[in-house]
Amino acid sequence: MELAVGNIVEGKVTGITKFGAFVELPGGKTGMVHISEVAPTYVNEIRDHVTENQVVKVKILNITEEGKISLSMKRAVDRPAPAPRRSAPVPHRLDRPDQYDWNSKKKNENMSFEDMLSKFKQTSDDKMSDLKKYTEGRRGSGRRGSSK
């Protein structure tokens, strides 16, 4: 069988290094699967995904003039099309000026100053709490460079 770029073939893993896996292809030739081409997710340790003597499907990505063969395991597998993303429903809040009911003054006419102040303070506290949760989540949990 002649090897050509784009073909998907089966081969046997003959060696594993920290940067990839060597695969023996039909016809006795050997190609290499770079660690970035092993799986569709991030691969930290290649041995978590392949073992020596394992038979794998690979796609031939490139064949150089010197005869080096670049392979991909992740491109050899038919993956289903990703499901269309649905945006999460946004909770109804009056945080933006275009959502503000500018006629709400009439609603506050029957409220005392203390009641309006209390309502404002509660709304302000809720917004500050939301902001604090949001910013803490963005910062991460660990400190860098601190040691005792």
Model pLDDT for residues 67-123, shown as the tens digit of each residue: 899 999 988 887 655 666 666 555 555 555 566 665 655 566 677 888 888 888 888
Q: Which long-range contacts (CB under 8 A, 24 or more apart) does 16-22 make?
A: 16/46, 16/47, 16/50, 16/51, 16/52, 17/46, 18/46, 20/46, 21/46, 21/50
Q: Is the same domain home to 54 and 103?
A: no
Place 7 in a pLDDT band, splitting at 50, 70 and 90. confident
Structural domain harbouring 68: 8-72
Helical H runs in the chain? 105-108, 113-139
**pLDDT at 46 > cutoff 60:** yes
Q: Say what the pTM is.
A: 0.52
Q: State whether 63 and 17 are in the same domain.
A: yes
Instruction: Say if CB 42 and CB 74 are below 8 A apart.
Output: no
User: The domain that contains 67 carries what CATH number?
Assistant: 2.40.50.140
Per-residue pLDDT reduced to its tens digit, 10-37: 999 999 999 999 999 988 899 999 999 9
Domain count, the chain: 2
Is residue 22 a part of any domain in this protein?
A: yes
| Distance in angstroms (rounded) separating the CA atoms of residues 102 and 119 | 17
Dmax over CA atoms of the chain, in Å, equals 89
Give residue 98's pLDDT.
60
